[in-house]
């Protein structure tokens, strides 16, 4: 029988994949999508937790997290767009005027 722990383990795996993606890719949009994946992993944990506790709070929280993620997407893509306009690139390692 599949229990809460399985769901949480799955969420941990997704979380880690997202974290790895955020580090290893140089395309900032893919980095950003990886971070979205991490947020979704958290959502899965909330829903699984909610189910195991028999309390609906977790589901309500997911509702807010989705909103936050949507807001983040709007702002993040706008940031990327503004940068792209000036630099014609979305490669993380080419964006390094500010250093030391």
Partner 1 sequence: MHAAATEVTASLPIAVSYLRYIPLAPLVGVLFHVALGYRLGRRAVGLVACAAVAVSFALAAKAFLTVLGSAAGTVVTDNVYQWLSSGEFTANVTFSVDALSSVMIMVVTGVGFLIHLYSIGYMAHEEDYARFFAYLNLFTAAMLVLVLADNLPLMFVGWEGVGLCSYLLIGFWYTDPEKASAGKKAFLVNRIGDAGFVLGAFTIFWALVDLGQGSLTFATINARAAELPAWASLAGALLLFVGATGKSAQIPLYVWLPDAMAGPTPVSALIHAATMVTAGVYMVARLHGLFEAAPAALQVVGIVGAATALLAATIGIAQTDIKKVLAYSTVSQLGYMFLALGVGAYGAGIFHVMTHAFFKALLFLGAGSVIHGLHDEQDIRRMGGVAQKMPITHATFALGVLAIAGVPGLSGFFSKDEILASAYAGGHFGLWICGVLGASITAFYMTRLYVLTFRGKFRGDHHKWDHAHESPIQMTLPLMVLAALAVVGGYVGVPEVLGGNNAFAEYLAPSVGHHQLGLAAGTELMLMGISVAAALTGIGLAWVMYSKGPDADLILKNKLGGLYQQMREAYNIDAVYDALVVQPLMRASDALWHSVDVRVIDGVANGTAAAVNSAGEGWRRWSTGNVQHYMLTVLVGVAALILALTLSSLIGVAG
Partner 2 sequence: MTQAINSGLPLIVACSWALLLIVVEMFSGDRRFVGVAWMGVIGLAVTAAMSVHYASVPAVYGNALALDGYAVYFNLLACTLGAAAMLLSIDYLGDAGIVRGEYYSLMFFAVIGVVIMAAATDLIVMFIGLETMSMAVYVLAGIRKSDLRSNEAALKYFLLGALASALLLYGVALLYTITGSTVLADVSKALSDTQHAGADHLVLLLATGLVLIGFGFKIAAVPFHLWAPDVYEGAPTTVTAFMATAVKAGGFAALMRTVLVALAPMRAELAPVLWGAAAVTMTLGNVVALRQTSLKRMLAYSSIAHTGYLLVGVTAGTNEAGSSVLFYLAAYGAMNIGAFGVMAALARRGRGCEKISDFSGLAQTHPAMACAMALFMLSLTGIPPLGGFVGKLYVFTAAMHAGLVWLVVIAALNSVVSAAYYLGVVRTMYFDNAPADVLPPARPYAAVVVAVAAVVTILLGVAPSPVLGSAARAFSKVLLG
Partner 3 sequence: MSPLAFYPLAFVCIASAMGVVLSRNPVRSALSLVASLFCLAVFYVFLQAHLVAALQIIVYAGAVMVLFLFVITLLNLESDRGLGEKPVLSAIGFGAGAIVAGGLIAALSRTSLGARAVTLVPTFGTTKVLARQLFGDYLVAFELTSMLLLVAVVGAVVLAKRDGSYEGDEQEAAVPARSEEASH
Binding mask 16-35 for partner 1 (x = CB under 8 A): ---xx-xx--x----x----
- Shortest spacing between CB 28 and partner 3, in angstroms: 10
Is 93 a binding residue for partner 1 by CB under 8 A? The answer is: yes
Instruction: Based on the shown chain and the rule CB under 8 A, indicate whether residue 66 belongs to the binding site for partner 2.
Output: no
Buried b (16+ CB within 10 A) or exposed e, 70-96: eeeeeebeeebeeeeeeeeebeeeeee
3 binds, among partner 2, partner 1, partner 3, none (CB under 5 to 8 A by kind): partner 3
Residue in the structure block whose two tokens are 């690139």: 89
- Left (φ > 0), alpha (ψ -120 to 50) or beta: where does 88 sit? left
Among 10, 17, 30, 83, binds partner 2 (CB under 8 A): 83
């Amino acid at each position: 029988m599949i229990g809460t722990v399985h769901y949480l383990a799955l969420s941990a795996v997704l979380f880690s994949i997202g974290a790895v993606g955020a580090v290893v890719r140089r395309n900032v949009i893919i980095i950003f999508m990886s971070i979205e994946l991490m947020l979704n992993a958290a959502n899965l944990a909330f829903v699984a937790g909610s189910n195991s506790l028999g309390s609906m709070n977790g589901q309500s929280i997911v509702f807010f997290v989705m909103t936050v993620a949507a807001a983040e997407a709007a702002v993040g893509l706008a940031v990327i767009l503004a940068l792209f306009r000036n630099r014609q690139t979305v490669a993380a390692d080419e964006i390094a005027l500010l250093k030391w």
